[in-house]
């Protein structure tokens, strides 16, 4: 499950089980289907996002320090380019 949270107060902005994480050079590209209203909420806080990929035995925290978050309206897709990744055992 992927959760996108506002880093201040940890407000949940988006949660989904349909997402993709791909390694792109020294970054991770996270993409997910999203509606325009939810995308707007996420983009409002693009500088203050924590992205969590929760699996059965680990939780991965991603962060985009340069706020590379884009919404592709023709595909209803959010794309985040994260430059930080930390894996925690659960």
The pLDDT tens digits for 2-56 are 999 999 989 999 999 999 999 999 999 999 999 999 999 999 999 999 999 999 9
CB atoms within 10 A of CB 53: 18
* Contacts of 60 by beta carbon, 8 Å cutoff, 6+ apart: 52, 53, 54, 85, 86, 87, 88
Instruction: Flag whether pLDDT at 90 surpasses 90.
Output: no
**pTM here?**
0.94
């Amino acid at each position: 499950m992927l959760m996108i949270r506002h880093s201040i107060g940890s407000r949940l902005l988006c949660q989904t089980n349909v997402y993709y994480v791909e390694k792109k050079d020294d970054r991770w590209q996270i993409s997910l289907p999203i509606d325009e209203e939810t995308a707007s909420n996420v983009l409002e806080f693009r500088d203050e996002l924590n992205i969590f990929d929760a699996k059965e035995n680990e939780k991965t925290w991603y962060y985009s320090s340069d706020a590379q978050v884009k919404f592709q309206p023709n595909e209803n897709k959010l794309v985040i380019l994260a430059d930080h990744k930390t894996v925690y055992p659960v």
